[in-house]
C-alpha cells in the first residue's frame, strides 16, 4: 500500500498547486470546477476508509478476522467502491472538459459534450445498480440477515463486466484523443510534451483497469475475499490516482511558467 499512499500525496500536492493557481487572482476561485472538487474529496474519503478496511482485516485471511471486524471491512469496501466510481467518473469528465479548449471545431465540441453526458449517465447508473443488487443492502456485509434478496450471481457478474468495460473504453478514448490534433497543435513544445505524458498516464490507467478486470474474474469464486483482493484494491487506487494526476497536469502550466520565470 506504500505506492497507493505515495501517489495520494502526489495527487494532493498537484491538486493543491492547481487550487493555488486558481486563487491568483482571488476572483479565479469561482472557476474551480465541481468535478475536480468531487473527485478529490471522494479519493480522500476512500483513503480514510482504506485505513479502516486494513484495521478490520483487509489483506488478512478471514480465519484470523473476527466476524464484527469482517462486517466493518466489507461495509467500508462497499462504500469505497461507490466513491471510486464517482471519483473516476468525475476525473474523466474533468479531462473531457480540459480537451474542449484545444479545438474549436463544432464536431469536436459535439463529440466531447456527448462523451461528458455518457460519462455522467454511466457513473450514475453504475452507482445505482451497485446499490440495488441486494435488498436490503446490508446483506452484502452481514450474511445473517433473514429474508434478503440478491441478484443472481451471473447477473451480478455481467453488471461488473459491463461496468469494467465502460471504464476501460472511456479511459482509452480520452487517452488517445490528443493523437487526433497534437501534430497540428500550434502550441509550444513543452505543452505537447505534457499532452503526451498525459496520454501515457491515461494508458497506464487503462492497463490497470484491464489487469483489475482479469483479477476480478480470477477471484470471483474465492471465499476469502479479504485476503485475495489486495492486488485488486491497489490496482483500483492506481487507476484512479493516475487518472487524477493526468487530468491535473495540463492545468499547472501557468504555475510552472511563473516558477521558471522567477528563477530565470
Domain boundaries, the chain: 2-262
How confident is the chain (264 residues) per 10-residue block, as mean pLDDT?
A: 86 78 53 74 93 88 84 90 92 86 86 94 92 86 84 81 87 82 70 73 79 74 71 86 77 55 50
What pLDDT is attached to residue 3? 83
What pLDDT is attached to residue 30? 42
Residue 210: exposure state from Cβ atoms within 10 A (0-12, 13-18, ≥19): middle
**Beta strands at 134-135 and 149-150: parallel, antiparallel or unpaired:** antiparallel
What pLDDT is attached to residue 32? 55
pTM: 0.85
**Is the C-alpha dihedral spanning 186, 103, 96, 17 positive or negative?**
positive
Q: What is the largest CA-CA distance in the chain?
A: 71
Q: 7 near 237, Cβ under 8 Å?
A: yes
Four-CA torsion 216, 219, 224, 228, nearest 10 degrees: -70
What pLDDT is attached to residue 252? 62
What pLDDT is attached to residue 204? 81
What pLDDT is attached to residue 260? 46
Helix 189-219 to helix 253-262 angle (10° resolution) is 130
Q: Find the helix or strand (DSSP H, E) in which 134 lies.
A: strand 134-135
No. of helices (H) and no. of strands (E), the chain: 9, 2
Peptide linkage before 25 cis (omega within 30 of 0): yes
3-state secondary structure of 133: coil
Amino acid at each position: 500500500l506504500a505506492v497507493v499512499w505515495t501517489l495520494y500525496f502526489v495527487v494532493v500536492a498537484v491538486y493543491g498547486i492547481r487550487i493555488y493557481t486558481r486563487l491568483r487572482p482571488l476572483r479565479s476561485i469561482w472557476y474551480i470546477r465541481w468535478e475536480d472538487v468531487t473527485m478529490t474529496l471522494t479519493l480522500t474519503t476512500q483513503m480514510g476508509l482504506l485505513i479502516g478496511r486494513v484495521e478490520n482485516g483487509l489483506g488478512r485471511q478471514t480465519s484470523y478476522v473476527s466476524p464484527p471486524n469482517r462486517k466493518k471491512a466489507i461495509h467500508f469496501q462497499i462504500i469505497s467502491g461507490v466513491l471510486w466510481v464517482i471519483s473516476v467518473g468525475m476525473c474523466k469528465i474533468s479531462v473531457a472538459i480540459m480537451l474542449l479548449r484545444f479545438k474549436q471545431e463544432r464536431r469536436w465540441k459535439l463529440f466531447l459534450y456527448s462523451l461528458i453526458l455518457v460519462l455522467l449517465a454511466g457513473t450514475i447508473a453504475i452507482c445505482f445498480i451497485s446499490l440495488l443488487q441486494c435488498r436490503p443492502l446490508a446483506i452484502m456485509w452481514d450474511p445473517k440477515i433473514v429474508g434478503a434478496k440478491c441478484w443472481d450471481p451471473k447477473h451480478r457478474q455481467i453488471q461488473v463486466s459491463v461496468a469494467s468495460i465502460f471504464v476501460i473504453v472511456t479511459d482509452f478514448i480520452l487517452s488517445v484523443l490528443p493523437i487526433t490534433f497534437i501534430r497540428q497543435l500550434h502550441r509550444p513544445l513543452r505543452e505537447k510534451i505534457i499532452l503526451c505524458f498525459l496520454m501515457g498516464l491515461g494508458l497506464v490507467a487503462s492497463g490497470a483497469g484491464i489487469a483489475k478486470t482479469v483479477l476480478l474474474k480470477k477471484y470471483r469464486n474465492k471465499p476469502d475475499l479479504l485476503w485475495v483482493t489486495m492486488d485488486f484494491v491497489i490496482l483500483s487506487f492506481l487507476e484512479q490516482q493516475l487518472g487524477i494526476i493526468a487530468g491535473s497536469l495540463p492545468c499547472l502550466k501557468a504555475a510552472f511558467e511563473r516558477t521558471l520565470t522567477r528563477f530565470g
